[in-house]
Amino acid sequence: MAIPKVYKTEAIVLKHFNLKEADRILTLYTPNLGKLSAVAKGVRRPKSRMGGHLELLTHCALMLTRGRNLDTINQSETISSFLPLREDLWRSSLALYAAELVSQFTVEHVENYHAYKLLLDTLHRLCETRNGELTLRFFEINLLTHLGYKPELYQCIACKHDLEPTANYFSASGGGVLCPACRSREALSRPVSLNALKVMRLCQQEDYSKVSKVKVKQELSMEIEGIMRQYIRYLLEREVKSVAWLDRLRREL
């Protein structure tokens, strides 16, 4: 169905950059239209009524006009500004990482409602969680699943046997776990401990309400982060930019 010339949508602001004197280009993620770019004209003028509603990571309701190259935002209202994220540098950095991941993994105008809902839920969760890292791991594993990159965590990706409860190996290029016997087939595989595998499976299988109650020690958290980071880097064929910022912040906070 063709989108009418003027249309309404909810959106999360993933990115923005300034254009000319007072305009701003936004990258938006929407429930039914996927990712899209739009211009907010005059939004940086002090009297603009849209200004405060189009900040980074805002969940907003928009009215837009379709353009030949770029749609234009006519009206915007804030649904949630996720205030606790704005008041906490660590939480906001985790949220920006989540937004960057969605932005990098998606192409414009391809609907993925599950990915949208997951991002929206994650922003709400990051406002409240005491373990933002686990919230992010849950987000990553489920986002990859919604995008068609669900990691195989139960069977060896080579011999197809059920994995034994022991240390196994994660292969980013294979998109899952190798048993010790098949490990040599993939030179770049890395060890994955039984506990790391259990937490990753939990993120894949269970609701967030259950996952968020699990206590994960720092060392285990770092192990899972390392595995996911390698997998994501492999899929994107580049580093997620905000990763370096998260690492720096972690050292300094």
Q: What is the β-pairing status of strands 168-171 and 190-192?
A: antiparallel
Judged by CB under 5 A, the number of residues near Zn ion is: 5
Task: Give the x/- contact pattern for Zn ion in 119-158, rule: CB under 5 A.
Answer: -------------------------------------x-x
For residue 248, the tally of other CB atoms under 10 A from its CB is: 11
Closest approach of Zn ion to the CB of residue 178, in Å: 6
Of the candidate residues 79, 159, 167, 244, the single one contacting Zn ion (CB under 5 A):
159
- Assigned token pair, 183: 């490990």
Q: Measured between alpha carbons, how far is 18 from 11 in angstroms, rounded to an integer?
A: 19
Non-local (6+) Cβ contacts of 84 within 8 A are 91, 127, 128
Closest approach of Zn ion to the CB of residue 202, in Å: 23
Give 55 or 152: the residue with its C-beta nearer to Zn ion: 152
| Angle made by CA atoms 212, 218, 222, in degrees to the nearest 5 | 95
Residue 218 corresponds to which amino acid? Q
Closest approach of Zn ion to the CB of residue 203, in Å: 23
Stretch that binds Zn ion, among 87-95, 145-153, 172-180, 201-209 (CB under 5 A): 172-180
Is 182 one of the binding residues for Zn ion (CB under 5 A)?
A: yes
Instruction: Determine the length of the chain.
Output: 253
Binding site for Zn ion (CB under 5 A): 156, 158-159, 179, 182
